Structure 1
Amino acid sequence: MVNLFNVEAIESVKPVVLMIVVQSIYAVVNIMLKMVTNDGSSLSVLIAYRFVFSTAFTVPFALFFERKSLRNLTGTVLFQAFLCGLFGGSLQQILYVKSLALVSATYTITMLNLIPAITYLLVVSLRMEKPNLGTLAGKAKLMGTLSGICGAMILTLYKGKKLFNFSVHIDLLEKYVTSTTHHSHAGSHVCGLMLALGTAFSFSLWYITQSKMSENFPWHYSIAALTSIMGAIQSFIFALCTERDRSLWKLEWNLRLLTAASAGILASGLCFVLLAWCVGMKGPLYVSAFNPLLLVLVAFISSLLLNEYITVGR
């Protein structure tokens, strides 16, 4: 009994640790993306290269560890992979980086705090989970949903007085600010928040689609690889249609290459595998519940390295 209990305890800890790792990776990559979006880079090309790196990272693992999964590829699985590549890849990232270009990283991440609320509403509406409002767990989920919505609205609509920052007198954005930066424009601010809201919806749909896909195709490396492949195809088609200047496709040894590689290998490649594992084990609502941790990490890093202030609203 003791050994069995210990195994169960270890299994219950694993998803928590993995989700903390995922959110930490996302926080670092978010700051790098914010810096790149301010230097005039082509965002659609950056996304396309991101998923090329992600594909190059995940496919060898899938072929080595889960080669037998190829026998289970069906039309349904490929369609679900296409949706994962769309909601968890190309569409999500296009909306996200466009939002980062218009508002601060902290504001963008704030809207992503709505992911648990949106996921909860979707899984209940789709009858994937019961609300169970008569139980303590059901009431906690509902209260968490409402508090997430209220918190995001407060931070979005009320900035408040500056309190402090943890600045070490380093502003990494200073050398990357260009004439294309529009943070002070009210219309751009609202547009940026709407794009971030669209990103949150895309995230929720991705978690739900991935959960359904893992039921019939329980191979986490293969799910990550298929998502990356679909995301690369979709984002490359979009980039080719929107960016005709060949010079924008050149990769040099600079921050853009480092960001594309880090975002692809870590945020998409490694995190896709970890998320697929956690979604398959705990479900989409559990995974989405860790998104608020990203706001805390990004707010701290932004204050430390981007010279952003913590305000009353935050």
Structure 2
Amino acid sequence: MMMGIIMRSVKLVEMLPFSVMVVMEGSTILLTIWAKTAMTDYDMSPFVFVVYTHVLSSIILLLYSFVFHCRSTSATQQSLFSFGLFVRCFLLGLTGIAVSQNLAFLGLSYSSPILVCAMGLMLPTFSFLLSIILSTVILRRTKTDWRSSSFQAKVVGTIISIMGAIVVELYKGPYIRPSSVLSSSSYSVLFQKAGQYWVFSSPATEHWVLGGILLAGASISVSVWNIIQIGTMKLYPEVEVMKVVSYYSLLGTIQCVIFSLFIERSLSAWKLKLNMDLLLIVLTACFGGLVRSRVHNWCINMKGTHYVPMFKPFGIVFATIFGVSLSANNLHYGSVLGAVVTGVGYFTIMWGQIKEDEDEQCVNHNDQSHLESTNSEAKVPLLEEEIGV
């Protein structure tokens, strides 16, 4: 009896991270659709939305860091207020907030949440391409192992992801409706009007294509942010992660304010009312600024670094479900098809990354074992000599 209770408890604990991550992805898509509705139906400016969201998010992060991470050594304080860390946090705020967020929400206002999902899945592709450019072209430090299965998987995944992104960008297909049952005559009509399903046959072509380009630019900016973030944590390991996050969040928010004041000069666009839009800003700031990051860190500590990214393609499922039930006229079969293809490429690249990390860990383990063996062999003669004395 007791053993059965223990086994059930273990299963529940194992299922908890999975359930939490699924809820996180669903909440993200739901907030994205809500933001799209606010910008489309209620003329909310994406720049104003980004500013208010990150102002509130920065305040929450600063209060959280002050309350839970207020203790710091003199070395940490010296690093935190150093010019080098300031420059890196300035770049983190620029790429991770000011550029990426403004491009993302502006692209969302021109497109749809399913396109946001598809271009978000391009993040490993852009990171992979940037790493090749950085390592082989600019730094010329590392030699690429073209024969390794991990590298080949990344190349294949990159090609698949690019193909999926092209499908999302150029082919929309017929509308998805809540109760669409196609008869044989309906199929003939579809084939007769197949030419109308391409993006360039729509009068709002430039908006959809422009939205995809802006979202792709946001993913590239996040890829650059990832590279800078990894380098920052390696250079400043003594500084707590949440303090760095609060630091660059504050700098990025200031950049957003300065940039948006030049774009949105109408005072009416900055006026907030006690309505659902204000609730959207508060929920997005709390969820994106603190809740999601803490949940992701908790899942990473429990399941490893590759656990959280594996749930990102779940956004396609939620975007399709919510798109059908909440805004069917904004969702097409072609968009879902392209997003699914992009998701396949995403998983392929992630598999290659996992394989590469496993190979590196195996090599490091063998090197460490060899080093320990060499050291022990080197110490044996000295011990024998000492015993002999």
- TM-score under structure 2 length normalisation: 0.64
Alignment deviations for residues 220-272 of structure 1 (CA, whole Å, 9 cap, x no partner): 21122123211210111122222333333222221221121122121233334
Measured after TM superposition, the shift of residue 305 of structure 1 is 1.4
1:98-247 matches, within 5 Å, as 98-127=106-135, 132-162=145-175, 165=178, 184-218=203-237, 219-247=240-268
- Secondary structure at the residue paired with 2:273? coil
**Residue pair 2:169, 2:209 contacting (<8 A) in 1 also:** no
Larger radius of gyration: 2
Which residue does the alignment assign to 1:311? 333
How many percent identity over aligned positions?
Answer: 25
- Amino acid across the alignment from 2:173: G
Aligned-pair CA distance for 1:162: 4.4
Change (3 A) 1:28 1:41: same
What code does the residue aligned with 1:264 have? Answer: A
Give the conservation status (yes or no) of the 8 Å contact 2:48–2:270: yes
CA contact (8 A) 2:26 2:315 kept: yes
Relative distance call for 1:202 and 1:123 in structure 2 (3 A) is: same
Describe the superposition over 1:170-223 as per-residue Cα deviations: whole angstroms up to 9, x where unpaired. Answer: xxxxxxxxxxxxx95122222222111111111211222222222233422112
* 2-structure distance, mates of 1:278, 1:215: 22
Counterpart in the other structure of 2:43: 40
SS of 1:81's equivalent?
helix
The Cα shift of 1:103 comes to 1.4
Q: Give the aligned residue type for 2:170.
A: L
Distance 1:125 1:272, change over 3 A: farther
Runs (5+) with no aligned partner, structure 1: 1-11, 168-182
| Aligned alpha-carbon RMSD (Å) | 3.3
- Report the Cα distance in structure 2 between the residues aligned to 1:17 and 1:121, rounded to whole angstroms: 32
Q: TM-score, normalised by structure 1?
A: 0.78
Superposed CA deviations along residues 75-125 of structure 1, whole A, max 9, x for unmatched, are: 222222112211111211111111111112212332222111001111233
Question: By percentage of residues, which structure has more helix?
Answer: 2
Question: How far 1:34 moved relative to its partner?
Answer: 0.5
**1:312, 1:247 → 2: CA distance?**
38
8 Å contact kept, 1:115–1:204:
yes
Partner SS for 2:313: helix
Match of 1:76 in 2: 84
Q: 1:247 to 1:154 in 2, by over 3 A?
A: closer
Deviating more after overlay: 109-118 vs 50-59: 109-118
Note if contact 1:19-1:290 (Cα within 8 Å) is conserved in structure 2. yes
**Cα shift at 1:15:** 8.8
Question: How has the CA–CA distance of structure 1 residues 200 and 41 changed in structure 2, closer, same or farther, with 3 Å as cutoff?
Answer: same
Cα shift readout 1:149-174 (whole Å, capped 9, x = no counterpart):
1111122222234465489xxxxxxx
After alignment, is 134-143 or 150-159 more displaced?
134-143
Whether the aligned pair in 2 keeps the contact of 1:165 and 1:304 (CA below 8 Å) is yes
| Aligned residue pair count | 287
- Matched letter for residue 317 of structure 2: V
* Post-superposition offset of 1:142: 2.4
Q: Is the 8 A contact 2:29 2:113 kept in 1?
A: no
Amino acid at match of 1:252: K
